[in-house]
Structure 1
Amino acid sequence: MPSPQSETTTPSVPPETKGPHTRRLRVVTLIATFGGLLFGYDTGVINGALPFMTTDLGLTPVTEGLVTSSLLLGAALGAVVGGRLSDRRGRRRNILLLAGIFLVGTLGCTFAPTTAVMVVSRFVLGIAVGGASVTVPTYLAEISPAERRGRLVTQNELMIVSGQLLAFTFNAGIAAALGDSAHVWRWMLVVATLPAVVLWFGMLVMPESPRWLASKDRFDEALDVLRQVRPAQRAESELAEVRRLAVEDRQSQTGGWRDLATPWIRKLVLVGLGIAVVQQITGVNTIMYYGTQILQTSGFSANGALLANIANGVISVLATFAGIYLLGKVNRRPMLLAGQIGTTCALLLVGVVSLALPEGTGRAFIVLGLTVTFLAFQQGAISPVTWLMLSEIFPLKLRGFGFGVAGLTLWLTNFLVGMTFPVLVDALNISNTFFIFVGLGIVAITFVARWVPETRGRSLEGLEEELRTKYTRPVVQGS
């Protein structure tokens, strides 16, 4: 395992200093992460809307899973297509397109008259969610200085969990205000149109990624962007490093499926796919999508479950703040490993408690405490490290493609979890279902300990050279 090190840049690049560029970088980060806010709201809102939707649209366990997971299937397509489009058309232009798709998909879901229309609209909305999940972190990673990259990229994760918290809060508030109205779930969904509009107008005045511009030989434009978000001397030195690697990447013709024939790239992509899978097989989205039902099964009333579910959103936000702090202090791989161990233990206890204790208030609050503990490990360690590492590990020319393929894998895994969870609970009961995720968690722990590299403290260019060297030679266990 690499020795601990601070978030530093390479010696040839001057250190980061404060100035007007710092404020500009904060604004860019805030606007871009509205994509994460939409990601969070649209994945979290189904948690409270689904019980009302089930009654209004007459959903069965199978169609319930289909409505939930159709967004995830769309996200899988959006991730791989969005990654390729961001490589071809630019990160900024792709985010603008995604803002429009967010708006169209949200309106389609809000006014859906039947289950079939809802499934199609959720699929369209998922395309935007998947595209944002790979494009926004890539954009932030490429525009951030190396020593602040971890914290800036994971602000997108903070916006994701903030979006989920807003969804849980609006769900509870709208349900309390409108009571048993047949269409209460439509009001829950339509709220997402507002951040979509903010994202579109905001990105109109944001700069393009300087590294993407450099990959297209637009070096003067790349320098102009770097001067907006770096001190002048730092901008010129950083561009020189980016230019050198962009030329090398172009000469090696990286950027698509054919590059998987190169052994070190193939190994790196497989590691990226593994990181994507282990983030999802914790079962986090069983709680994000079905948390209200889980709490009702444990003993809460319908409205009580909606209110209690807000605790899941609050702890997710607080844990993400802690994760952002830790990313500046702790290496990535130990954080990911600790998160996997913590979530696996929490799920084991949820299964045991659900099996051993009778339904009632006592079991309900114990299960709530364990889901909160689970989310503390998931959102404080696993999720921020996952999105950050996937934005870091792929070469410049392959970054959109590689992140897109990893995102495709992540969302397909998410789809399988979302689609099968209600069916598994119906067939096996909730305890045995969670024991399945415990077994998957053990597999994930083994993978992280053996295969995941350390990425902290390197510039993107320096990291690319390091990983090329690492994966060109045989991988040694524990390296």
Structure 2
Amino acid sequence: MSQALRYALIVSLGGFVFGFDASVISGVVGFTAIEFGLSDFQQGMVVSAPTLGAILASFLAGPMADRFGRRSVLKLIAALYVISAICSALATTYTLLVFARFIGGLAFASLHIAPMYIAEVSPANTRGRMVSINQLNIMLGFSAAYFANFLILKLSASDLAWAVIMGVDSHTWRWMLGIEVIPALMYLLLLYFIPESPRWLLLNGRENEARNVFSRLMTQEAMNTQISCIQESVAQGRQSGLLAVRKLFSRPMRLVLVLGLIVGIAQQITGINAVYFYAPAIFEQSGIGTDAAFSQAVWVGVINILFTLLAMYLIDRVGRKPLMLAGLAGVVISMTMCAGSFSHATYQLPEEQRQQILQLDGGQKLEPLIGSRFQDDVAFKNAIKSLLNHNEYLNNQSALLQMSIKVDAKMVLVGILGFVASFAFSLGPVMWVLLSEIFPNTLRGVAISCIGVANSAVSYVVQLAFPWELAHLGIVSTFSIYGGFAVLGFILVAWLLPETKGKTLEHLEKDFGVKKEGANSAGSVLISSSRNPLSESAR
């Protein structure tokens, strides 16, 4: 195993912890909604609180990585994951749970720093695959969380003596959150076995240390060539603070910044985190019941892994842009399938299950609705809400949907899994590869932070709004919105995005014409790009 691969595997373990932390809430939110009596907005806050923390972390991640080093910031991130997992599992109120989840969100800065580190230690011809290891670990984390939630749910319903003694039955959601401590601690310990990024060392005038790291990664000749290229790219001086931000938004950087924003926003606005973080709730909408919803969520994790592996195989062969276009097209098709399936659904509390309905908590109040037929989920849920109090509705929502809905559940499952597959081999891994490639060495930290803020802000809105959208717009409109944004993303990517595979970071910097702020070459690239985004220098 090469040293670069070894370092990438260790650093990308943060992706696993992120994936676990982010998606474990999909199994928790239903339990906490009942235990704390949460409203739609409060449920959205429990799910989206980490992303709110990630917005703040995005402001700080790049500058801190530039100031203190990639490795030091990654260690802080790992420690935050450990603290968040412990505090979340022990939370006694809604407010404490949101705060603990917010702390975990500060650690989501690993999404920006890990790809940056991996790109800076990887050879150009394998950089796409190496950076994609982080995305693969994210998917593994997602899958592990879905599987752990399903296993803990089964244990909570069993009569195993040790499970009862450990309180799995009475503290199910706390076990789901607390188990994250194990991978988070492993991540923190392993980070002590990687070196600092050699490019960061050169940026900070520590050439001997940089040479020592590079000597583990490549031959002497390749090292000398690489160091010369890096020193040439940073000869204009290190950019920091407001000066770096100012230069990032300057005219020569405009095209690159727009490209980064398009890719960063497209990754989230198409609704992927609504699917990841509310997977059981979405499957419950098709009437399959809680246990089946959790088991189908496991399939989301499996599909994630398989198609992320496919992306890793293709990204340095086919290129970044073809994967992005194929993935966005897949999102459009998948969301159309889901929206179309639910648009033909009907909702009716069946007369033959009258006794089961009346035996539910508050079920006597529902007698006037038995036999009534509804054509959409919003009208059906509003009718139930008008008769039950908030806690009764939360306790009975899944059972009532399972009894009443008639929909092609298999088509919904295919649509959701198709959506996940489309994301996993395109938007998921490709975005982080592109962001680690298109920005120059001197601005990479602050640039990724700025794009990360936009990415996290859109993710936060998507997660926070999803329960409200289900309650007020309905599942058909919600999926249609995601599909519409995917169409827009497809058009912009097809029009503007160049190909970057197979080039060193320093060569890409020259290709994009961002080496010197006032250089004529920069202006010419931008001018030609406005006429034809795939100019010769970007191809």
Fold shared per TM-score above 0.5:
yes
Q: Using the alignment, how far apart are the partners of 2:297 and 2:4 within structure 1?
A: 34
**Structure 1 range deviating more: 253-262 or 275-284:** 253-262
Q: Which residue of 2 aligns with 1:30?
A: 9
Q: Does 1:274 align with 2:252?
A: no
Equivalent residue, structure 2, for 1:201: 189
Letter in 2 for 1:379: A
AA partner of residue 420 (structure 1): A
Given candidates 408, 411, 433, the residue that maps to 1:366 is 411
Q: Structure 2 residue aligned with 1:84, among 18, 40, 63?
A: 63
Aligned to 2:148: 170
Pick from 390, 394, 399: which aligns with 2:435? 390
2:280 aligns to what? 292
SS in 2 for 1:256: helix
TM-superposed deviation, 1:217 = 1.4
| Cα distance change of structure 1 residues 394 and 28 upon mapping to structure 2, 3 Å threshold | same
Give the TM-score, by structure 2 length.
0.82
CA deviations on 1:372-430 (whole Å, 9 max, x unpaired) are 11111100111111111011111111111000110111010000000111101100110
Q: Report the residue type matching 2:143 in the other structure.
A: L
Structure 2 Cα separation of the partners of residues 198 and 385 of structure 1: 27
| Counterpart in the other structure of 2:505 | 460
- Give how far 1:478 is off: 4.1
Structure 1, unpaired ranges of 5+: 1-21
Alignment pair present for 1:473 and 2:526: yes
Q: Distance in 2 between matches of 1:362 and 1:427?
A: 20
Note the C-alpha offset of 1:57: 1.9
Distance 1:409 1:162 in 2: 25
Structure 2 counterpart of 1:168, one-letter code: Y
Q: Name the structure 2 match of 1:62.
A: 41
Task: State the SS of the aligned residue for 2:193.
Answer: coil
Partners of 2:210 and 2:87 in 1: CA distance: 38
1:15-39 Cα shifts (integer Å, max 9, x gaps)? xxxxxxx532222111101110011
Q: CA–CA distance in 1 between the matches of 2:63 and 2:320?
A: 26
CA contact (8 A) 2:74 2:110 kept: yes
Greater C-alpha radius of gyration? 2
Partner letter of residue 182 of structure 2?
L
Matched residue of 1:426: which SS?
helix
Match of 2:102 among 117, 120, 123: 123
Deviation at 1:360, TM superposition (A): 5.5
- Residue identity in the other structure for 1:163: G
Within 2, Cα distance between the matches of 1:197 and 1:81? Answer: 23
8 Å contact from structure 2 (residues 62, 447) kept in 1 = yes
Evaluate the alpha carbon distance shift between residue 57 and residue 126 of structure 1 in structure 2; reply closer, same or farther with a 3 A threshold: same
Contact kept? 2:115, 2:131, Cα under 8 Å? yes
Q: 1:251 Cα shift?
A: 8.8
The offset of 1:453, in angstroms, is: 2.3
- Alignment of 1:318 with 2:371, yes or no, is no
Query: Are the equivalent residues in 2 in contact too, given 1:300–1:361 (CA < 8 A)?
Result: no
How much does 1:363 deviate? 2.0
Q: Which of 459, 470, 474 in structure 2 is aligned with 1:425?
A: 470
**Cα distance, 1:357 vs. partner?**
3.6
| 8 Å CA contact retained: 2:114, 2:134 | yes
**TM-score, scaled to structure 1:** 0.92
Amino acid at match of 2:40: P
Q: Which amino acid aligns with 2:89?
A: T
8 Å CA contact 1:300–1:360 kept in 2: the answer is: no
1:48 equivalent in structure 2: 27
State the secondary structure of the residue aligned to 1:298: coil
Question: Between Structure 1 and Structure 2, how many residues are aligned?
Answer: 457
Amino acid at match of 2:197: S
The answer for the alignment partner of 1:216 in structure 2 is: 204
Could you tell me which amino acid in structure 1 is paired with residue 468 of structure 2? Answer: V
Which secondary structure does the structure 2 equivalent of 1:453 belong to? coil
2:142 maps to 1:154:
no
Matched residue SS, 2:442: coil
Sequence identity percentage: 31
CA RMSD, aligned part only? 1.8
**Paired residue for 1:5?**
none
Deviation at 1:232, TM superposition (A): 2.7
Larger RCO (alpha carbons 8 Å, 6+ apart):
1
